[in-house]
Amino acid sequence: MEVINSRLISWASILDDQTREQALTTATLPIIYPHLALMPDAHLGLGATVGSVIPTLHAVIPAAVGVDIGCGMIAVRTQYAVKDLPTDRKRLRQDIEHAVPLSAGHYNRRFTATAVPRLAELRRMAANARFDPGQYAANWELQLGSLGSGNHFIEVCADEADTVWLFLHSGSRGVGNKLAQRHIAEARSAVRSRHIVLPHPDLAYLEEGTPEFDRYIRELRWAQHFALLNREEMMDRVIQQFESWTGGRVREAERINCHHNFTAQEQHYGKTVWVSRKGAIRAQAGDPGLIPGSMGTASYVVVGLGNRESLNSSPHGAGREYSRNAAKKTFTLAELKAAMKGIEFRPSEAFIDEIPAAYKPIDQVMRDSADLVRIRHKLRQLVNVKGD
């Protein structure tokens, strides 16, 4: 841990100058209390740094939550061991690719039996929040159970005892993105109308007691829940395909589902604050958590230690060292295939920007997190599914 100044504390041993400056800029905002916590996976983000924990008094910064509201991880520990699995892992990958819509702009064509009650729950929640999700995305219902692209993934993994886990990463999809974009724009308009001078437009915030703030929180909570149910829906489909592949039922020994792009009201240092975790998970003492590495590297199942200075938080992944454009110019498909040796995946130039070398070493991130979480399991990938 490094105390950069009284308003910024960092756990990142790998931190480039741009990211450091961005975090320092955010920490100057008068609404920050008590300080901004920079996680080990911190890297440059839109307005606010990805991998940061941003506590604010009586206000929320929509861009500090991010456009993929509620993005997070879900994992299921099965009763299977690696030795129990069929050898044809390609079949499982392809079956999952057919069962879950992948890539931006790809959605379901019909409602599955498992999606129906979840959609009913989301409709009730939207009605209680007094808004229509259709104003943001007419097909939002068909988005439930879809993966997206970028760093989102579905994986079959094994831990140190060769126990098989099912693991995936996704958020609130297009409907959450459009909802976020609207409220980021509203925040910019609100600060302009109050003649508030900011160091960056994307640090615009909505203040408690205003209609704009209340609407954002209502709709944000809906989007966060959509993201959580989206992961549940996809996991149920992955389990179905896994069962078909193995010819047996999955007995869930454990299921963990956690956000890493969200805001919540919490008590810290004697005050009630809004804690926005942009690329960070909550890690209160005893909280179960999931910290994925990059494509082809280890992921971790953890438990929170309740570190006060971190505002009970921990990293959400490896964190980028190369931007997507830089990675595409630097690495090759041959290098990606070499990095993924022994893992069943779909080789594609579309995934070059996700090559492990574009990210910080996950094991270093976990060493930096020693006072934030305790490692329960280290996972290695057997099968990887991604969207273009």
- Who's near 98: CB < 8 A, 6+ residues apart? none
Pairing state of beta strands 163-170 and 153-158?
antiparallel
Complete edge-to-edge strand list for the sheet that includes strand 36-43: 2-5, 8-10, 36-43, 50-56, 271-278, 261-268
Complete edge-to-edge strand list for the sheet that includes strand 72-81: 254-259, 72-81, 163-170, 153-158, 373-385, 299-304, 288-291
Question: The dihedral of CA 53, 54, 57, 60: what is its sign?
Answer: negative
Tell me how many degrees the CA angle 3-265-52 measures, rounded to the nearest 5. Answer: 35
Q: Which of 112, 98, 237, 230 is nearest to 174 (CA)?
A: 230
Of the candidates 35, 225, 316, 377, the residue annotated as catalytic is: 316
Cβ–Cβ under 8 Å, residues 23 and 50: no
What DSSP line would sit under 96-165, residue for residue? HHHHS--STT---SS--TTHHHHHHHHHHHHHHTT--GGGT-TTHHHHTT---STT-EEEEEE-TT-EEE
Active site residue 316: yes
- 219 phi and psi, to 5 degrees? -75, -35
Provide the annotated active-site residues: 316
